[in-house]
Amino acid sequence: MDYTFKIAEHVFSTNIEHLPSEVRNKAKEVLLDYLGVTLYGGQKPWSKMVLDYVRERKGTPQSTVIGTALKADCASAALANGSMAHGFEIDDTHDPSVSHPGAVVISAALALGEKENAVGKEVLTAIVHGYEVMARVGMAVGSSLIERGFHPTSSLGPFGAAAAAGKVLGLDREKQQNCLSLAGSFSSGLMEFSQDSAGNMVKRLHAGKAAENGIEAACLAQRGFTGPRKVLEGKYGFCRVFSETPEMEKLTKDLGEDYQIMHLSVKPYACCRLFHSLIDAVLEIKRKEGVSAELGEIEKITVYGPSIMITQHLVYRPASIMAAQYSLPYVAAVAVCRDPGDPNLFSEENLYNRELLEMASRVDAEIDMNLDRQFPKKFGSAVQVEFKDGRKCYQEMLDSRGTPSRPLSGEEMEAKFLALTDRILSTAAQKKVIEKVNGLEELEDITALVEETLA
Domain ranges, ordered by start, for the chain: 3-268+410-454, 273-397
Q: Which residues of 115-129 are buried (b: 16+ CB within 10 A; e: fewer)?
A: bbebbbbbbbbbbbb
Mean pLDDT of successive 10-residue stretches along the chain, which has 455 residues:
96 98 98 98 96 93 96 98 97 96 98 98 98 98 92 98 98 98 96 79 96 98 98 97 96 98 97 96 89 71 94 85 92 93 88 92 96 93 93 95 96 96 96 97 96 86
Q: What is the per-residue pLDDT for 129? A: 98
The whole-number pLDDT of residue 195 equals 80
pLDDT at 292: 58
- Enter the CATH code of domain 3-268+410-454: 1.10.4100.10
Q: Which fold has domain 273-397?
A: 60s Ribosomal Protein L30; Chain: A; (3.30.1330)
Q: What is the pLDDT of residues 274-316, one digit of tens each?
A: 999 999 999 999 888 876 555 568 999 999 999 989 887 888 8
Other C-beta atoms closer than 10 Å to the C-beta of 338 total: 16
d(CA 376, CA 378): 5
Q: What pLDDT does residue 297 have? A: 83
Tell me the average pLDDT of the chain: 94
Predicted pLDDT at 348:
87
| pLDDT of 455 | 62
